Amino acid sequence: MIRGCQGDGVLVTIQVSKTKLKTRLTYEFSYGIYYQRGDFVPRTSRLKSESGIYHIIMRGINRQTLFLDDEDCTKFIQTLQRYRKICEYKLYAYCLMGNHLHLLLHENKESLETVMRRICGSYVFWYNKKYDRVGYLFQDRYKSEPVEDDTYFVVVLRYIFQNPIKAGIVNKINEYKWTNYNDYIGINKLTDTDFVLNIFNEMDKEKALKSFIEYTNKENSDECMDMPEKGQLTDDEALKIIKTCCNVEYGIDIQKLDIVKRNEYLKILRNKYHLSIRQIERLTGISRGIIQNLK
């Protein structure tokens, strides 16, 4: 059986029966995503948000870059705006990060699955045409988590906006071009900011904005849903590297080294062994701010 489409990302399915195994394998192409599954391995049901708000992550297949230049980023943001009008979802945050992206939105007229199919299908169609390519762009199904209360909502919001900082791309949130952070501070007005600012102060917009800026820029150890890199080292593996590279008995012993030597080791751990900022912070006790400011 084959179902097909272009543009708005309608699902394409090819089913192949294997008589000997008495199983059916299903190959699906949905909004630029390709994966294989057997009926004997059911997919985990996606958690439904009672609030209608979701944190969403998409990654390029095989960690392929989703945004090769500014035009690609601009096109994806335009696509978000186009389907925001059609699907009537509320868009609170986005961050485009090369080979993956984060969204924070509230579904409305159409379901999250339909929204994502439209957005991703449209972008993949444009992307493939631009780069004269065929095939899949996104890896697996998008990941999503429900956001059910204001407390976790603002944590996710900050986590999304601080993604470029934690990746070592910029030092301040407002320095990164491909988030909607500047919508909140008045430079653009392309996303739904009122809901967020009302969480900080419903009565006074000026105080709400001040609280929003302070909160989102505050150094933190927030943990939210993420999509780890394929082959990312476990903490045990990373700790062995730290001990060997830095010639210490425990990870926290790196704090006892003189600053120059310590910083050189931190650079090596990041640039040569590709340990994440969060992992180094967790295993050495050295603050994220110190690690991410090293060049």
Residues 19 and 64 in one domain: no
Asked if residue 118 is part of any domain, the answer here is: yes
Domain count, the chain: 3
Asked if residue 228 is part of any domain, the answer here is: no
Domain hosting 22: range is: 2-38
Q: Is the pLDDT of residue 11 over 60?
A: no
The CA distance from 115 to 21, in Å, is 36
Asked if residue 226 is part of any domain, the answer here is: no
pTM above 0.85, yes or no: no
Q: Is the pLDDT of residue 121 over 50?
A: yes
Residues 211 and 92 in one domain: yes
pLDDT at 5: 46
Residues 76 and 133 in one domain: yes
Residues 170 and 255 in one domain: no
**What's the mean per-residue pLDDT of the chain?**
81
For the ranges 34-38, 89-93, 176-180, 216-220, which has the lowest average pLDDT? Answer: 34-38
pLDDT at 238: 84
Asked if residue 9 is part of any domain, the answer here is: yes
Count of positions (residues) in the chain: 295
Summarize pLDDT for 28-39 with one digit per residue, the tens.
344 444 443 434
Residues 202 and 275 in one domain: no
Greater model confidence, 5 or 260 = 260
Residues 203 and 265 in one domain: no
Residues 18 and 106 in one domain: no
